Structure 1
Amino acid sequence: MTKKRSKRVRWGRVFGALLLLGIFMVGLFTVSQYIEGTYNALNQPFQKAEADSFQGEKNTTEAVNVLLLGSDSRGEESARTDSIMVAHYNPQTHKVKLISLMRDMYVTIPEHGQQKLNAAYSFGGAELLRETIKMNFGLDIHHYAIVDFEGFVKAVDLLVPGGIEVEIPYEMSDGIGMTLEEGTQQLHGEQLLGYVRFRQDRLSDFGRVQRQQEVVSKLKEEAVSLNSVTKLPKLLDLMSTYVETNLDTPTLLTIGKDILTNETGDIQTLRLPEDGSFENETYDGVGEVLEVDFEQSKDALEKFL
């Protein structure tokens, strides 16, 4: 009489196989979500209200300079910009650099004489601001992006749902519709917008520009640590509603992917004017301005880029 051998189930191998299958399924789902989201994003054209008038050279084979604007418009026809930045992206090195331009710099605006820098947007939109930056600083701008503040809030909450940790030096409340307490705080989208827009800074507008650069850098760090590349299509979908730009979606995808996969490394920042290259002045009809040493600013830009 022959005895049948009982087969032992090797549960370790079974568990390992199930684990690998689970990882594969999660990866497949993530990739499919990314592809579907990317397809949807590519079929969502961005708002381009100023694209026809904007004359920046469309050359993406070399480094790209994008004029980033946050408009403080609340329904007025003649709005000034709440923030003026230039994002510099090099497709060869994958590096991103960020230049903040102080809005109170006293500059020459084509056909409008000497005014504060942010008046250029009020007079002639993104194109006149591009011309003004080129005339005064010699910097070529290729594209523009105007960010709606509601879109900023939604993008922050999408990328970093847990919020961003910042150190608030003193209570902030005037003009931002909320109160941010002194000390270390974890801020979500709406609060973070208040933090970067607060104007009664003890360092005047210099403190606000510093906070803007801080938030951009921290957002990038947090997004990278959370491996947010799979959120890029949803972010693009948000942008199609809340961002006006003449950048095409494939270029945005390339830059966004490099940033979110940390190909870019740390974002380097520059503020113009630099310390020691300006004086505070007051002029009738214009108010307090920054008288800038433009040659020194041009040299700083050249070294930075």
Structure 2
Amino acid sequence: MKKLKVSIKNLILALILISIALFIFFSYNGKVFQFIRQGKRINILVLGCDELKFTKHADVIMLLSYEPRTRFLDILSIPRDTKVPCSKELSWRGYRKISEIYALVYRKSKTIGEACLSSKKTIENVLEMEIPFYLQINYQGVIDIIDTIGGVTVNIDEPMDYDDYAGDFHIHFTVGEKGLKGDEVLKYIRFRDRLLGDRGRIERQQKLLKLLMGKLTEAKVLLKIPQIYRNIKDNIWTNLNFWDFLALANEVRSFHYENLRVQSLPGKSEYIRGTDYWIPDEKMSEEVVQVIMNSYRIGWKTSRSVYSGEKLGRIAKVEVWNATNRKDLAYNVQRKLRQYGIDAVRWGNFGIYKKYTIVIDRLGDVELAHKVAK
């Protein structure tokens, strides 16, 4: 019995020493851990790239902005056709699509790191926000992540059909709930429908990211973090190290799904000299950045109490789309909604004229939708 007590004491002491050692190791080897300890916002640029023979394109562009003080995560999607000025570091002048910046730099330097840094600097200039970290992942990396966690279940709300016989690439999904493997998920997020175009693809990418965040909070998936890292390390390029990933995984462990907000860079589509561009709305984009940077103040102060978040019983999250020819209508409506304690996460021009206002309830909460409509 005495030996057993001594063994237990030694085990506890060993665990304490290991914990202290890990804390010190995290502190000195992980920048992310230092950010978390200091309560500093963590901004990570995520680039999803294709694998073409002669170059690479940034097919998916997202900003992950994490507030460690409140454990609140913002995801901002940036359309790949976003029109941006070429930075001084580049030898090109004028404007380009944001996805082209990566391709041009990679073609010239043949270095993924240089392409990532140029994309990061360009987006920092557009958003006027410092982004310390970046992560570029190719298609195979996405497949490996999905397969390692056992796939995901996606609700497909419209038929998806596409055939590229020259490239031997085919997409065929029927409506309904589907369990998708890695290669199927890649097809799902790459599909571009005719009506919504890039906006529809961004919505599917955001939906997938939400599903992944939900899966990563599961204990059995958290245990696979080291395995996920091993499987994807050859398919990613990042300035995050292994200890940074462990620190982020530790944050995910206690992350609450309701602390996730998804938005897109506001703007409109324009056809300029034979090329489709996404033109950012400077005023609305500045508003989005302010919303993200102020996420440590969870819960908006309201000027009225009639339909505040408390009166609604819970905070409503809505999207506002302008289906009229009235300028800045969606922008003005989302500002008004925030005065009532309603969180408008996305807004912009719908692109198709509608005669009547439509309120769509996507959560099955008719009572809340009715109060928002009023």
- TM score, norm. by length of structure 2: 0.60
Look up the match of 1:71.
Answer: 49
- One of 111, 119, 122 as aligned partner of 1:129: 119
Q: 1:141, 1:259 → 2: CA distance? A: 20
Q: 1:68, 1:236 → 2: CA distance? A: 16
Contact residue 151 and residue 182 of structure 2 kept, 8 A:
no
Q: 1:139, 1:284 → 2: CA distance? A: 30
Contact residue 160 and residue 174 of structure 2 kept, 8 A:
yes
Look up the match of 1:47.
Answer: none
- One of 278, 282, 288 as aligned partner of 1:290: 278
Look up the match of 1:150.
Answer: 140
Q: 2:196, 2:80 → 1: CA distance? A: 15
RMSD across aligned positions (CA): 2.7
**Aligned pair 1:173/2:151, yes or no?**
no
Q: What letter corresponds to residue 127 of structure 1 in structure 2?
A: L
Contact residue 85 and residue 99 of structure 1 kept, 8 A:
yes
Q: 2:127, 2:265 → 1: CA distance? A: 10
Look up the match of 2:215.
Answer: 222
- 1:233-252: per-residue Cα shift (whole Å, max 9, x none)? 11111232221111122121
Look up the match of 1:236.
Answer: 229
Q: 1:59, 1:163 → 2: CA distance? A: 33
Bigger RCO of structures 1 and 2 (CA < 8 A, at least 6 apart): 1
Q: 1:201, 1:91 → 2: CA distance? A: 39
Shift of 1:156: 0.8
Contact residue 153 and residue 177 of structure 2 kept, 8 A:
no
Shift of 1:58: 12
Q: Calculate percent identity across the aligned residue pairs.
A: 22
Shift of 1:195: 0.3
- CA gap of 1:118–1:93, structure 2 versus 1, over 3 A, is same
- 1:103-138: per-residue Cα shift (whole Å, max 9, x none)? 112221214321112111122311221221122220
Q: 2:68, 2:52 → 1: CA distance? A: 36
Look up the match of 2:242.
Answer: 249
Shift of 1:85: 0.5
- 1:5-61: per-residue Cα shift (whole Å, max 9, x none)? xxxxxxxxxxxxxxxxxxxxxxxxxxxxxx9xx9xxx9xxxxxxxxxxxxxx99734
Shift of 1:225: 3.7
Q: 1:179, 1:72 → 2: CA distance? A: 20
Shift of 1:300: 1.4
**SS of corresponding position for 1:93:** coil
- CA gap of 1:70–1:257, structure 2 versus 1, over 3 A, is same
Q: What letter corresponds to residue 117 of structure 1 in structure 2?
A: I
Contact residue 199 and residue 205 of structure 1 kept, 8 A:
yes
Q: 2:257, 2:77 → 1: CA distance? A: 19
Q: 1:182, 1:200 → 2: CA distance? A: 14
**SS of corresponding position for 2:227:** helix
Shift of 1:256: 1.7
Q: 2:257, 2:246 → 1: CA distance? A: 14
Counting matched residue pairs gives 246
- CA gap of 1:246–1:189, structure 2 versus 1, over 3 A, is same
- CA gap of 1:58–1:221, structure 2 versus 1, over 3 A, is closer
Q: Which moved more, 1:235-244 or 1:176-185?
A: 176-185
**Aligned pair 1:99/2:76, yes or no?**
yes
Q: What letter corresponds to residue 198 of structure 1 in structure 2?
A: F
Look up the match of 1:140.
Answer: 130
- CA gap of 1:194–1:266, structure 2 versus 1, over 3 A, is farther
Q: What residue ranges of structure 2 are gaps of 5+ in the alignment?
A: 1-18, 27-31, 106-114, 294-374
- One of 77, 85, 94 as aligned partner of 1:113: 94
Contact residue 69 and residue 83 of structure 1 kept, 8 A:
yes
**SS of corresponding position for 2:122:** helix
Shift of 1:213: 0.4
Rg comparison, structure with higher value: 1
Contact residue 136 and residue 294 of structure 1 kept, 8 A:
no
**Aligned pair 1:197/2:187, yes or no?**
no
Look up the match of 1:4.
Answer: none
- CA gap of 1:93–1:269, structure 2 versus 1, over 3 A, is same
Q: 1:181, 1:154 → 2: CA distance? A: 24
